[in-house]
Amino acid sequence: MTEHADDLGNVVTLPADVRRVVSIVPSLTESIATTHVHLLVGATDWCTHPRELDVTRVRGTKNPDLDLIRSLEPDVVVANAEENRAVDLDVLRTLGIAVWTTSPTTVDESLDSLERMLSAITGEVPAWLEEARVEWSTPYIGKRRPAVVPIWRRPWMALGRDTFAGDVLARIGIDNVLSDSGERYPRIDVEALPDHDLVVLPDEPFPFSPDDGPEAFVRPAKCVSGRHLTWYGPSLVEARDVLTAQLRS
């Protein structure tokens, strides 16, 4: 057995040869599956990548089936401090299951977090992660655009302070005008927003689309891939080019 520290500083004890992993975070599911798919024995209903993934589904990120997870006898469950409920993770730990929790809020933190997790679980740093580091290593040079980034409607909510997605956008020249908000995901009044010239509408968590979202705003609104904006994993390899094409064109 070996001991490791996750993003929260929790000590996670793992067997020297990890063979069974349950992921309750879509981006982490994709990260492990792209590296060593044979390790995954369980994932949430929302884990849509890779599309051909064939594992036991353990419900959602907020309501995982803890009894089913236990029955899968995982060596470790990988989770995220924001996406998963602390009470569920605590229950898994009391059942004697190792839980690895991630908690990055920037691109650099996400790359380091993935390297720690994958090194501990798979014993290697995959080539796609090194490629992602290269892709995000150069700074953006050019005109910047102030933007509002809604993530939900009914009620309206948007990106606020200290978010991974906000850092992703900043690195391609899109500045979140609510980055100084007291909350990470504040409610907003679409009639009384700070000055901005762009509205960024990801297709998750709320499924914004050209027919559902842009009509609510005076400023130009562009729909983007939520996976490329909010997931940290293999999608980071292409996220910069995808989002730049969607927002800077």
Residue 67 domain flag? yes
Phi, psi of 157, deg, nearest 5? -135, 155
Q: Per DSSP, what are the bridge partners of residue 173?
A: none
What is the number of structural domains in the chain? 2
The overall longest dimension of the chain from CA atoms, in Å, is 58
Looking at the structure, tell me whether residues 57 and 120 fall in a common domain.
yes
**Angle at the Cα of 47 from the Cα atoms of 233 and 28, rounded to 5 degrees:** 30
Q: Do 120 and 19 have their domain in common?
A: yes
Q: Which domain holds residue 187?
A: 145-248
Residue with tokens 């994993």: 233
Per-residue pLDDT of 5-44, as tens digits, reads 999 999 999 999 999 999 999 999 999 999 999 999 999 9
Residues 178-188 have pLDDT tens digits of: 999 999 999 99
Q: Are the C-beta atoms of 246 and 224 separated by less than 8 Å?
A: yes
C-alpha angle 155-216-200 in degrees, rounded to nearest 5: 85
* Residue 1 pLDDT grade (very low, low, confident, very high; cuts 50, 70, 90): confident
